Amino acid sequence: MVKKPRLIIWVLTSKCNLACPHCYAAKFIGRDELNERQALRVVKSGAEAGIKHVGFTGGEVFLRKDALNLMRYASQLGMSTSVITNGSMLTEEVVRDLANIGVFAFLSLDGANKELVSIEEVQRLGDKICHIDPSLQVCVLGYRPEFRRKHLPRPSYEEMLQVHRALRGVGLKTVICQVPRGHIGPEGFLS
């Protein structure tokens, strides 16, 4: 018997204000997007179909002005919600709204690799996030040869540990760094 889906992962938009060389969402650019009315209908249909969680992702979700409305509506209909964002559009007001709605927010730093970003830049970015809210969860994905620039080596465990320490060092409380054999969790241990 086919099980009913309990979860929607929704690429709300493929548009982004960044241009990471490995971006998987770039291949969707130019495709039509749902307008707000259509998107609200999708949320309602999901709730009626028994969906328990809606995960919003992109592109950069907050380029859509209706993103918070959609999350609020999903929450009002009894579903839990999460969002993956690059963080560049977050303001105190948006973070407050996310907290009020109860959205799990994941900040995604994709493509950490010393060839693309220095440890000082990672620190500066971490510092900005920390000033918004030190408890925001930050997940760091290493840039790998499977992405577009095939000549770049995957960051080693030691390099990602350095990224982890740099972000923890600026005061962020929940940092998760992907490494070749798993991830370094918030406490700084491999699992």
Q: Which is nearer to ligand SF4, 20 or 43 (CB)?
A: 20
Q: Does residue 60 bind ligand SF4 (CB under 6 A)?
A: yes
Q: Which is nearer to ligand SF4, 16 or 152 (CB)?
A: 16
Task: Check binding of 23 to ligand SF4 (CB under 6 A).
Answer: yes
| Token couple for 134 | 């030190």
Instruction: Read off the amino acid at residue 117.
Output: V
Separation of alpha carbons 32 and 53, rounded Å: 24
User: Which 78-107 positions form the footprint of ligand SF4 (CB under 6 A)?
Assistant: 86
Q: Which residues contact 68 (CB under 8 A, 6 or more apart)?
A: 94, 97, 98, 101
Q: How far is the CB of 110 from ligand SF4 (least distance, A)?
A: 4
**C-beta of 51 vs 136, nearer to ligand SF4:** 136
Nearest CB to ligand SF4, comparing residues 2 and 19:
19
Q: How far is the CB of 116 from ligand SF4 (least distance, A)?
A: 11
Comparison of 110 and 159: residue with beta carbon closer to ligand SF4:
110
Residue with token string 């010393």: 114
Q: Residue 9 interacts with ligand SF4 (CB under 6 A)?
A: no
CA dihedral 186, 109, 28, 102 (to 10 degrees): 50
Specify burial of residue 31 (Cβ count, 10 A radius: 0-12, 13-18, 19+). Answer: exposed
CB-based contacts of 63: which residues, under 8 Å, 6+ apart? Answer: 13, 15, 16, 17, 89
Residues that bind ligand SF4 in the complex, under the rule CB under 6 A: 16, 18-20, 23, 25, 58-60, 86, 110
